[in-house]
Chains A and B, each alone.
Chain A
Amino acid sequence: MSGGITRRQALLGMFGAGTTIAATIIRPASAAEEHPAHPVAPLDAVAMLYDSTICTGCKACMVACSEANGLPPDTSLSNGLWQMPSQLNSKTKNIIELYKEPDGPEFAYVKRQCMHCLDPACVTGCPFGALKKNEWGAVTWESSLCIGCRYCEVACPFDVPKFEWDKWNPKIVKCEFCFDQRLLENREPACTAVCPTGSVIFGKRVDLLAKAKERIAGSPNKYFEDRVYGEHEAGGTQVLYLSSVSFEKIGLPKLSSTSLGHYGTKVTSVIYKWFSGPIVLAGILGAVIRRNWKRHETERPEREKRTGFPDQL
């Protein structure tokens, strides 16, 4: 080799540069700390507590949400007359749904919106960080970073993020805890502010969790399984639910208490830590290929003489 640098040195130099880049520019995937199996909510984490037994289904929160977020009414089911979404969609960030037992008296309302997970799968998967866990734990979306890959829709265990399928420049639409609209102005989200019955209330997560447990303790056998949905589900969420009807029946999926971010990154975070796995593998590949390449090149003249043709790569 010319210039007094051997291939080995060049190779080592390349890896060295790679390590430096990985260490300085790329956020290190030290997921062991970033994604604990059971994340602990920070003390300033905000939350919503929704008590299905209080809700009367007036849908004031839906109107307030659309107004605060500037969303057009979804009138597809009402022939263009009034807002009537069938489920969360690209025009609906918040919805009151009714569960009714097929052959019985049991019924319950349920409010659906982003759960603002403590360790959100959508944030872990989002390639350029368009979805991010913002201040106080609100999961927000930044349009300039989103490539529209829809991985968040695949990853979200609650099927919350929605894509504007009918737009040429589609956005991801989901509840952002009224972060820009209200939280930053020190106001609570539109839905909790407007709720006339107090079935959905806003506060710090620690306080609301304690309050929910108080309610359970205050009226035994009222609440399903005497537990708060969202305390542990998917590693814990910042929206908490109380219900007298089974959570699964009202559409809240049964989930393990391990966060998806932990499950999804526990192996790769070790392999890709400081990019060490690929670097070591590149070193091994390089050494073996170099040996085999040299052998191949040594045998080349003989091969060319035998076939009468120049060697092909």
Chain B
Amino acid sequence: MSTQDRTGTNLINHWQRGVPAYSAPLITPTFLALAALTAVGFALAGVRLFSPLGRFAGMNDEYAWGIWKTFNVMTLTALGSGPLALGIAAWVFNRQKLHVVMRTALVSGFLFYATGLMALGFDVGRPWNFWNAALPWRWNAESAMLEIGICMPLYVAIFLSFEILPIFLERFYYTSGERTRAVLRRVAPLLRRIYPFMLIGAYLLPLMHQSSLGGLLLLAGDKIHPLWQTPFLPLLYLLAAGLCGIGFVIFLLLLACLRYSRPLDLGILDELGRLLCAACFLFLAVRAIDLIWRGQLHAAFAFDRMSIIFLVETALITIPAFALLFNAVRQTPRSLLKVATLACLGGMYYRFVPTTVAFHPERQRGYFPTLPELLMAGAYISLAFLCFGLAVKFFAVLPGDTHGWKNKFRVIRLPQWPWTRHHDIRSESRPNTNPEGEPA
């Protein structure tokens, strides 16, 4: 299949559907390094279960939120907003081309959200009281924290999980026997019937909680520097989530395709580049309007410490915004990777600064995360990347050529214990014989 670009050159559409990286080696040095960091994090998490927060982390009464909240939740769920941004582009604004990269967005989004929630679970001081969430009459409906506390787990547990369900069912279908396949064939139409309804929640909920993350900071009032403290915080946090979400999917696609020697689809990358460009400009426009409206432009160009922090942030988003206007940038994978990385960093920077660098309580004791705190934060991230690597290898996540692929999935080899030696563990994949009524 091929399409023509503006100059009339034939572009090959290499990304036709999700294809597993079934021949890539499973145990690599990167895999082992990530697994090691994750293991350290799990061990520390075990210690945290029995340790008071103060002995474990560098947080104090002035900086009551450490990096688990400000980075793992506030910043990384923005990177995990790909399912929101691209889903809305694909299903609401009908950008058909993007359907093929949705699985990459969904899996990465699910992993960043899930690890963010883990971080939150180990951060709160009295998690056992969270059962109050089940009693709606105890909700303080005007609290942004409540909105996030209810909405985010609900989104991950129901909507994101539902959206990634087809990825599991597909593998299950091709690796199981005829009887299971018959059941799955009956399930598939049901799934498709519910799917559009689930999409509504899958976009509504993150629109709510991603803006509420910004809404949280409104109550901090004057503690946050006036360059960041604005009634526009919820909107800006949402726009930054969209920006980071699109940018991170580009980043992941390019890196993963490089790693697993996949050909790139420049047509789809170009589309993603255009979206990222628009997201950057939208963010910058709202930011500029806000600063002018509040009369804070002078603070932005005062060239003191906070002004420079602001200018770096703006540069990190302005450079990709303008660079992405050029066809040459969008259609050269190397430069696209660079600008997407810049945009992601800019968006993350914006989401991180108001809770940390620009957060000035009356008495500043200062805060720097302790080593266990940093290791646990790193472990959540490495867990996400570890799982992403496994997902790409075992499931049809990463987009690729269908050429030569016969719905073959990597076999999960269970260890052969002596007592199972005579059993035949059959998870051998079979070629697809009946394309009708496939699960998803």
Contacts and interface: CB of A to CB of B under 8 A. Distances in A.
A170 B402 contact: no
Interface of B: 1, 16-18, 50-55, 59-62, 64-65, 91-92, 94, 96, 99-100, 103, 124-127, 129-130, 132-133, 136-146, 149, 163, 166, 170, 191-192, 195-197, 199-201, 203-204, 207-208, 212, 215-216, 218-223, 231, 234, 361-363, 396, 402, 407, 432, 435-436, 438, 440
Nearest to B361: A159
Contact of A128 (B100, B129, B191, B204): B129
A71 B92 CA distance: 57
A185 interface: no
A311 B143 contact: no
Nearest to B143: A127
Contacts of A255: 221-222
A165 B204 contact: no
B126 A169 contact: yes
Contacts of A295: 94
A42 interface: no
B65 A309 contact: no
Contact of B140 (A25, A129, A158, A267): A129
Contacts, number: 228
Chain A, interface residues (CB within 8 Å), range: 35 or more
A37 interface: no
Interface of A: 7, 11, 21, 25-29, 31, 34-35, 87, 89-90, 121, 124-129, 144-151, 153-155, 157-159, 162-170, 251, 253, 255-256, 260-261, 263-269, 272, 278, 281-282, 285-286, 288-290, 292-293, 295-297, 304, 306-313
B47 to A, nearest CB: 12
A293 B196 contact: yes
Counting chain B CB atoms within 10 Å of each CB, which of A165, A256, A281, A295 scores highest? A165
A125 B219 contact: yes
5 contacts: A147-B132, A170-B52, A268-B144, A293-B195, A293-B199
Nearest to A22: B141
A289 B91 contact: yes
A124 B124 contact: no
A150 B195 contact: no
Max chain B Cβ within 10 angstroms of own Cβ: one of A155, A296, A311: A155
A26 B94 CA distance: 35
A124 B197 CA distance: 33
B64 A150 contact: yes
A167 B125 CA distance: 9
B362 A251 contact: yes
Contact of A31 (B126, B142, B199): B142
Contact of B143 (A125, A281, A282, A290): A125
B262 to A, nearest CB: 16
A169 B52 CA distance: 8
Contact of A253 (B52, B62, B220, B222): B222
Given A149-B149, A260-B221, A268-B215, 19 more contacts: A26-B141, A29-B142, A121-B221, A128-B146, A144-B132, A146-B129, A154-B65, A165-B52, A165-B61, A167-B52, A170-B125, A264-B219, A272-B141, A281-B207, A296-B99, A297-B192, A307-B402, A312-B17, A313-B195
A2 B149 CA distance: 36
Q: Which 6 A-B pairs have the closest CB atoms?
A: A148-B125, A165-B54, A310-B438, A153-B64, A127-B146, A148-B126
Contacts of A149: 124-125, 145, 149
A124 B146 CA distance: 11
Given A25-B137, A292-B94, A313-B440, A308 B145 contact: no
A127 B437 CA distance: 46
Nearest to A129: B140
Contacts of A261: 219
A28 B141 contact: yes
Contact of B136 (A25, A124, A126, A164): A25
Contact of B200 (A263, A282, A310): A282
Nearest to B218: A264
A251 B361 CA distance: 12
Nearest to B405: A309
Given A29-B141, A312-B170, A292 B215 contact: no
